[in-house]
């Protein structure tokens, strides 16, 4: 059927009306570019999602500045006794004076990390004896009785020739010098470092110069590992070789023991010191990639730290400024 001119006009008018209705602006539409809303950041003071035990259980928090904090306060000792312990390390002495009670609660009263008595100044036996007397007298002045003074040689330091000379002089002065194996060192480090509330789900790492010790509880017993130390480069060992060895060995830690890694040792000390807040007892380390090494020892220590982090999948490593395996030695004394 052929449309007449009037019909054509009517048809075009209907099409125009329909087109207008289809494409006309709608009152409720806004054609401006959508701006996404800012994501909400959970304040560290918001405990609405915490477990019922949140008030009594130590926890790791993320602050607004993205720095992480380990919130834990150890119990104070009651009617304790002053005990002193000196570690003969690979390059010098570390010394600690603690107040220790009969419930094994302790607090640090004095600590000297690093080269508090450097071996470089102890050239002869006379130098060693004079240096030791001065050092020991300083401990006595802090209130430690001679019978409560103890000396321990770390497993790494036992390989140093100067350590034997110092040990011999201490024995001549009437002191007992205790040699510890890497396994004992790992167990003592765990005893001093991991808070009781974390004993069932965490592990301990001690990155030393001569070796790295790892320990955790498993089925009522303490398990340990001895791994390369931060000075492995002196033996010509490659970074990749150490990384693979550590990562493979650390896989022995059970999945349910990887909540927090409590970490001590020389390199972790250096890392934590870069962002410690005032005099906090615990500093949560940043990821290994966040640090830039300043020397070969630090670079090697970071390689070990990264292997442990990657191997366990643990993202929280807590450095304890007061703990040391020698304090674990004091905690194990029967007296």
Q: Is the pLDDT of residue 40 over 70?
A: no
What CATH number is given for 81-180 in this structure?
Answer: 3.30.420.40
| pLDDT tens-place string over residues 258-315 | 999 999 998 999 999 999 999 999 999 999 999 999 999 999 999 999 999 999 999 9
pLDDT tens digit string along 137-179? 888 998 999 999 999 998 878 877 888 888 898 999 899 999 9
Rounded percentage of the chain residues whose pLDDT exceeds 70: 77
Residue 214: closest CA among 159, 152, 258: 258
Q: Virtual CA dihedral for 69, 284, 51, 46, nearest 10 degrees?
A: 30
| 92 and 116 Cβ atoms separated by less than 8 Å | yes
Domain regions of the chain by residue span: 81-180, 182-330
Provide the residue count of the chain: 335
Note whether 320 and 193 are within 8 A (CB): yes
Q: For the CA atoms of the chain, what is the radius of gyration?
A: 31
Domains 81-180 and 182-330 share a fold: yes
Could you give the angle at which helices 296-312 and 266-273 cross, rounded to 10 degrees?
Answer: 90
What residues contact residue 315 under an 8 Å CB cut-off, 6+ apart? 287, 309
Assigned CATH for 182-330: 3.30.420.150
Residues 284 and 71: beta-carbon distance below 8 Å = no
């Amino acid at each position: 059927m052929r449309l007449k001119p009037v019909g054509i006009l009517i048809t075009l008018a209907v099409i125009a009306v329909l087109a207008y209705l289809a494409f006309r602006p709608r009152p409720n539409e806004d054609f401006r570019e959508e701006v996404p809303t800012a994501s909400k950041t959970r304040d560290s003071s918001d405990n609405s999602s915490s477990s019922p035990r949140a008030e009594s259980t130590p926890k790791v928090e993320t602050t607004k500045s993205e720095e992480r904090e380990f919130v834990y306060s150890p119990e104070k000792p009651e009617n304790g006794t002053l005990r002193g312990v000196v570690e003969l390390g690979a390059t010098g002495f570390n010394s600690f004076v603690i107040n220790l009670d009969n419930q094994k609660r302790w607090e640090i009263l004095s600590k000297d990390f690093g080269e508090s008595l450097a071996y470089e100044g102890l050239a002869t036996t006379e130098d060693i004896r004079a240096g030791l007397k001065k050092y020991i007298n300083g401990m006595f002045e802090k209130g430690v009785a001679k019978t409560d003074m103890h000396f321990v040689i770390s497993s790494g330091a036992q390989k140093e020739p100067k350590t034997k000379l110092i040990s011999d002089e201490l024995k001549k002065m009437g002191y007992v010098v205790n040699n510890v194996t890497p396994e004992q060192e790992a167990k003592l480090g765990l005893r001093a470092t991991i808070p009781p509330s974390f004993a069932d789900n965490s592990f301990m790492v001690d990155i030393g110069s001569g070796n790295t010790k790892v320990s955790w509880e498993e089925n009522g017993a303490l398990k340990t590992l001895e791994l390369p130390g931060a000075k492995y480069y002196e033996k010509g060992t490659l970074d990749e070789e150490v990384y693979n060895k550590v990562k493979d060995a650390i896989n022995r830690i059970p999945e349910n023991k990887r909540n927090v890694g409590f970490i001590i040792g020389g390199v972790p000390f250096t890392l934590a010191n870069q962002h410690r807040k005032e005099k906090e007892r615990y500093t949560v380390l940043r990821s290994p990639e966040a640090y830039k090494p300043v020397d070969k020892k630090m670079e090697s220590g970071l390689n070990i730290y990264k292997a442990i982090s990657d191997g366990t999948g643990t993202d929280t490593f807590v450095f304890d400024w007061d703990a040391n395996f020698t304090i674990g030695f004091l905690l194990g004394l029967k007296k």
